[in-house]
Structures are given as structure tokens and as C-alpha cells.
Structure 1
């Protein structure tokens, strides 16, 4: 009806061919990223930052952090109504459950493929790395890590954390996975109540989701400025002196993530479900936001918007599969766990056996869905693993310190794989508009 037409005019991107490319959100955030990194690396050449430089960086840090917070504040209010509408709004709850099972199947398939790929390629690649003993000694001396209590990383703690005593507090704390599980429980229960109460609630949550999409559009309109601020601070910290072992680690990590990301585009192309060009266009805003913020969750609103406007995916994909993937699926762990273990072994002169490397790869798959909600949780989850295979735990401190640049490409892979799972779990008959 007229409301749907108004909503399309409000949320859909302009199709006027005369529109300036600079008005595109994707172009704006890309320019912000490139210009910010260039300015930051230029400022890094100062031996001692001037008062002006320090003040500029402090201001940009506030601007960038404020923009990240503004984007993240939309995640919970957007995810909850989308999940409820995506699950309870379907005609068949069993079909929604089947979609969820299919999504987990794709997640496991991608994880296994990436784990095998990274184990084979990176083990051969690291054979060419020869380190200077003096340089590695200085690098090892900087390794510091605050290992959390063992219980913080235990299976018991993870399982109990999935069942929040107070779902409202869990949402306020930003712990998305417990909120997602509670929302799914609520949505499946709502699907079994009488039509009157169910339709009334669905109408409310549809309106909430539509409203949050408008808010997301406003936040993304400021993306160019936010990404520029974040990229400038990042570029100033990294500088241009990425050499030796650190440079090798960066190159291997980044190249493997880019190959895996390209592989997803190949799968999309071969599947014939959507045009690979349309898929690429849909990924631009989420990819650049993800690389700038280094957060899959911060990219979720942009993914939902692109999946709705460009790929024309149904509510089951945008309101169920995408939030689920963003919450529990981290394809990057199948790569950086293996690369990190090989790097630390090389750094400390330890021979990492094939069996131990296989254990690292298998752990990256099995533990993928249990990353704890604490800073550097994905890294810290490897502490017991490193102990069991004889790698120094303090080496994880080095990996955390070196994670800034690779994390941009890790997030790129994560958001691309999330969108791929959403596309692959959508029935072909619902993708006709996206292929047109």
C-alpha cells in the first residue's frame, strides 16, 4: 500500500543516473578511509608530535569514537525487531528452523575450508621466513599479556553466559549473543500464539525496524567523516615502518584473508543466485564501515540495509540469518589462529609439528562459536591451546599488539561471509528481483 511505497522512497537509494558519485555513501566512506590513512601516515613522520598534531589526533579520536558509538547504538534496537519479524512473521516456523540449520551448515563448511586452506598455504609460506636473532629478542621483550582467570575462558562460563539473568541488562551491556538467543526464544513463542496478539506485536516490531533503518541511514550519512577520523588516528599509530618479521606476518595474514574474501565472490558467481556485481555493490558500505571500525557488529546495520535495498533478500535473511551470523560466526578465526601460531613458533624458534598445527586448525573451527565477550576474546581463547601445544602464552600479547592492521581485513572477510550465508540460505525463487 501507500505506506510501503513511502517506505521504499525513504529508504531506497536514489536511482537518478545524474546523481554525483560523491553523494554515494560508499564513495564517501572510501575517500574517508584513504585520505585518513594518508594523513595519519604523514603525521607519523614527526619525531615528536607537535601541540597541533596532538590536539588534532585527540579531536579526531573523539569524533571517530563518537561515530562508532552512534552506529553501535543502533545494533540492538535493529537486531531485536528484525529477528522477531523474521522468525514469527514467517508462515512456517519449521521453515525458519530449517533456514537456521542451513546457515550453520554453511558456516561450518566455510570454516573447515578456510582452516585447511590456511594450514597448507601458510605452513609452506612461513618456511621462507628467516628472522634476525637480535630483532626477535627485542620483539619478545615487548610481549606482555594480562591473562584472565581460567574460569573466564571456560566452557562452563561460556554456556552460563548464554542464559542472561536479565535480558534487558544484557542488551544494555551490548552482549549480543545472549540477547539474540532470548529474542529467538521470544520469536518462536510468539509464532505459536493466537493471530490477534501475534499480528499486533508484529506490526509494532515492523514499525520499529523500519524506524531504525531510517536512523541507520542517518548514521551512515556521517560515515565519511567518522571513517576519516578513525583512519587518521590509525595511520598515525601504524606509520610506514612495517618491516621484517612484523611485515611478513602482516603480508601473510592480509593476503590469505583477501584470497578467502575473493573466494566468496567466486562462490557467489558460480552459484548464480545473485549477480556478482550486485553483490559487490551491496558489500561496499558494510565492507568500508567494517574495515574502518574493525567491528562486524558495527557493520550489521549497513549489511541489513544493503541486503534489503540492493539484494532484495527476504526478512528471514535480513532479520534472522544476518544477525545470527554477525553474533556467532567469525570465519577469520580459521585463518589468523593458524597464521598466529606459526608466527609465534617461528619467533620463539619452536618447531610446530603437523599434528599441533592440525589441532590449532581444528580448534579454530570447534571454538568459533564460543568467543567470550571480553576484550581480545578471540585471542585470549587460544591461551589454553598454546599451553597444550608448547607455545609461549606471552606470544599472544605480541599478536594482540599487531592486530590493528590485519583486523581490518579480518572484518572484511567476516562481513562478506555473513552476507554470503544470507544469500545462500535464501530460496532461489526469492532471488529473482536481485538477479534482474
Structure 2
């Protein structure tokens, strides 16, 4: 009777579709980039792909706030013990800090050894330096005062409309903890509404992910056409160091999951494939959040605390990649401008990547612009930040991959029962 059993085609898998879209899009884009002058086809076709890709990103991002808010409220107020939720948050922060220190140590130790082998062509570096243009924000835009005040929105609805997730998350947490203090009647009624909204939004997320193959293909084609296939010299070296270090960190997380055994590593991989590919295609861990929630729920069977609290919290404030690319970027700019970056200054950059990780300002390229005063204090040219921003497209794909992987690891380590998601709970 086995021959009568329907077999689902692998091509219907979301993970397979978005992976094929990524590969095919990059191949097409790099092929078109070889044209000495854009053909009529390229001139007409690329704007269409750009529109399709941007529309798909917007469609995914529009689900983030409506999904995060009910998940947070249900995850916090729906728990039996609010103190337990606070304990989970403290554990999540501890794992974030541990991962940051480990990645900063990796980057600080390994990167200088690689950059010592780099010899740059004087003419090529002169041309590259000539492209360094940056609009440096005012000091107040990057100050601690501005960051703290930005966390308390005058209008939470406007903050949600503007897509500034962290203030929305903090307001939602405040609301959820307050809801946990009201009577059973109002609390149960509201929780029923928010659960219904969360379930509905998960359906919308599945619809958006079903279009992921097309959306990723369009985004990857535009990316490949801009980058081209020939990335040489200093840029190629910078890409190599950045990408390899991020991949080492990703592999280390998978090895840790395999050794720890809280969830089977194959399930962990299967849960992360759609979110990882969406993240690499969109270069946004926030855009990957709906897919992460789906994988954590459907594949890993993590509790609501993980999907409604830990994952949204990590996606909002945790950027593990800064611990890697801040030291790499500083070494690259120092090499580019012929500056000897001392060990003390490199350690200062690494420490800053940890301390300032949770305070990235809500402005374009905020993670890199946050380094402007740091560069000025250690004698690196501030205009070098402009080069890093210009070169961030390809490495950013792997940065997002690491962020997504580390977010899921924190969720597993703070909420999963030992022995794996499909096994009976221990004890």
C-alpha cells in the first residue's frame, strides 16, 4: 500500500523554494553585471525585480508588529507566574552576554592574524578611499540621552507605525505585566482576543512565506547585479574575513546545540532553514522573526514563552554580529589608511561592541554610525565608516544569518526542556 501514499514534492517546501530563489537570483544578477553597458532588457527588467523584492519585504515586515504584540502579551500575561517570565528574561540576557563575549574574543584574536597577511595596492586603495562619503549625524543623535528617551515613546501607536520595534516591545511588556495584575475576568477575555490575533497573524505569515521563493529571487537578482562576480583585493579580503568569522560562529552554535542536547540538532536546523534564508535574502533579522516563530512552534515545539517573549526580545535588541564586524571593520579601515591600530585600541573596539550592543540608535545604519565617536577617539578616519556602509551588502547576509541562529539558540537554551522537543518531558 505504500505506493498509494502521496509523496510531497520537495519543491513545495518553503525552505527549498527560498533557497532555489536565492541561488537563481544571485546567478542571474551576476550574469547581468557582466554587461559593459546595461542592455534594454536589463534596464527594463531590474526595476521590476526591485519592485517585486521590495514589495515582498514590505509584506513580510507588515506582519512583524501585529505578530510581536499579541505574542508578547500572551507570553507574559498568559503565564502562571510572572516571576518565572522575569527569570527567563534574565537567563536570555545572560546567554546574549555570553555569546557576545565569545564572538568578540574570536574576532579580536583571529582578525589581526589575517590582516597581517594583507598587502594593498596603493592605486586601488586610493580609489577606494575617494569613495568614502558619509553624512555624520549630530553627536546628540548618537548620545545615551537620545537612546534612553527613544525608549519611551510619546505615542506608542506612532512608534509602531514607524517600525521602531524596541519602544513598542517595552510598552507591550509594560502592558502585559500590568494585565497579569488585573482580575481573572478581564485578563482571560483580553488573553482570548490576543491569542486569536496571534493565531490569525500566523496564518498571514504562512501566506507571506509561501511567496518567499519569488521575493527572494527578485532581491537576490538585484543584489547580484549590483555586486557583480569579481570582488578582488582589499574588498574581497574584507568580505572573506567577515564572512568566515560569521560562519565559524554559526557552526559553533550548531555544535553547541548538538553537544548540549536540549533539542536535536537536525530539528534545530530544520526549524531555522526558512528563517535563515529569508534573513540572508532580506538582510533583516526582524523580517525573519515570523519564520523563526513558526519554526520554534511547529518544529521545535518550544513553549509560548519562547515564541512570545524570548524571540521578539532577541530580534529587537540582540545583534551578536556587532561583536565580530566591529573589530574586523576597524582593522580594515586601519589597513586601508595605513594606520597602526594598537592592541589596546582594538580591545576598546571589542569592548564597545559588547557594551553598546543593546543601544543601537533607530536611524539608518545605526549599528555602524554608533562607531563614529569611537573611531574619532582611537584615531581612525571617520569617513572610513562610509566605506564600511558601502561594502555591507554581502557581509550583511551572513550577519543576519548569525543573528537569526543566535536568537533561536537563546530561545532554546532559556525555554526548552532537556532531551529534545519531540521527547517526553523529563521529570
Flag whether TM exceeds 0.5 (same fold). Answer: yes
Partner of 2:337: 348
Partner of 2:187: 198
Q: Deviations over 1:59-108 (max 9, x none)?
A: 00000000000000000000000000000000000000000000000000
Q: Distance in 1 between matches of 2:322 and 2:424?
A: 32
TM-score by length of 1: 0.95
- Contact 1:273/1:435 (CA < 8 Å) preserved in 2? no
Partner of 1:269: 258
Q: Distance in 1 between matches of 2:287 and 2:65?
A: 11
Q: Distance in 2 between matches of 1:287 and 1:17?
A: 29
Q: Distance in 2 between matches of 1:87 and 1:178?
A: 17
> Is 1:290 equivalent to 2:282 in the alignment?
no
TM-score by length of 2: 0.97
Q: Secondary structure at the match of 2:415?
A: coil
- Contact 2:331/2:341 (CA < 8 Å) preserved in 1? yes
Partner of 1:20: 9
Q: Distance in 2 between matches of 1:149 and 1:190?
A: 39
| 1:259 positional shift | 0.2
Q: Distance in 2 between matches of 1:56 and 1:371?
A: 36
Partner of 2:151: 162
| 1:433 positional shift | 2.4
Partner of 2:396: 407
| 1:432 positional shift | 4.4
> Is 1:83 equivalent to 2:72 in the alignment?
yes
Q: Deviations over 1:141-165 (max 9, x none)?
A: 1100000111110000000000000
Q: Deviations over 1:362-409 (max 9, x none)?
A: 000000000011110000000000000000000000000000000000
Q: Secondary structure at the match of 1:234?
A: helix
Q: Secondary structure at the match of 2:422?
A: helix
| 1:241 positional shift | 1.5
> Is 1:42 equivalent to 2:31 in the alignment?
yes
Q: Distance in 2 between matches of 1:431 and 1:404?
A: 36
Partner of 1:235: 224
Kindly report structure 1 stretches of 4+ aligned residues shifted beyond 3 Å. Answer: 429-432
Q: Distance in 2 between matches of 1:156 and 1:17?
A: 60
Partner of 1:115: 104
Q: Distance in 1 between matches of 2:202 and 2:115?
A: 45
Q: 1:212 aligns with which of 201, 206, 212?
A: 201
| Root-mean-square deviation over aligned CA pairs | 1.2
> Is 1:389 equivalent to 2:389 in the alignment?
no
Give the length in aligned residue pairs.
421
Partner of 1:9: none
Partner of 1:417: 406
> Is 1:323 equivalent to 2:326 in the alignment?
no
Q: Distance in 1 between matches of 2:217 and 2:162?
A: 27
> Is 1:139 equivalent to 2:128 in the alignment?
yes
Partner of 1:5: none
Q: Distance in 2 between matches of 1:131 and 1:411?
A: 29
Q: Distance in 2 between matches of 1:214 and 1:432?
A: 23
Structure 2 residues not aligned, in runs of 5+: none
Q: Deviations over 1:258-292 (max 9, x none)?
A: 00000100111111100000000111000000000
- Contact 2:261/2:418 (CA < 8 Å) preserved in 1? no
Q: Secondary structure at the match of 2:102?
A: helix
Q: Distance in 2 between matches of 1:435 and 1:420?
A: 21
